[in-house]
Amino acid sequence: MKWILLIGDENFSLDIIKAINHKDCIRCCDVDENRFLVDFGTDHIFYDYDVTQTTLMEYEKDELEKIPFKNPRIIIMTYTSEERLKDILKQNDFPKGIYVDNDFGLIVPLEEFIKLGIPLE
């Protein structure tokens, strides 16, 4: 499985993710209070809220400078299908104003990530 990091302000939470209409999913459910599953049958996505802020502590100073939020919150989006991930990120109801870290050195606003073709490597 692969992942990207979704980075938002202090109001960014799993509740915002749960409000998304995940087209064609067969079930959505809480795995626990910090993990949300979207099951499409042939593939799935996990959203993990980094409640401990461990991920943020792993950033280098130059990486942190790319994140404009005073108190950033991170949700790890783990996926099994790149095509499904791309479709979801492009949905009109996907949260706006967030940043994406592709875990390969790119940290940009979601809109720019999409314009770049959703680079996953």
**Residue 56: predicted pLDDT:** 87
Asked whether the beta carbons of 20 and 89 are under 8 A apart, the reply is no
What the block records as the tokens of 92 is: 């009109």
What total of structural domains would you count in the chain? 1
pLDDT of residue 98: 98
Residue 105: pLDDT band (50, 70, 90) is confident
b/e sequence 72-84, b meaning 16+ C-beta within 10 Å: bbbbbbbbeeeeb
pLDDT of 1 strictly over 80: no
The distance of Cα 113 from the centroid of its chain, to the nearest Å, equals: 12
Cβ 92 vs Cβ 20: under 8 Å: no
In a domain? residue 64: yes
Residue 120 lies in a domain: no
Percent of residues, the chain, with pLDDT higher than 90: 89
Can you give the pLDDT at residue 63? 92
Residue 28, domain extent: 2-115
- 121 found inside a domain: no
Question: What SS3 state is found at 8?
Answer: strand
Tens digit of each residue's pLDDT (9 = 90 or more) over 26-62: 999 999 999 999 999 999 999 999 988 888 889 999 9
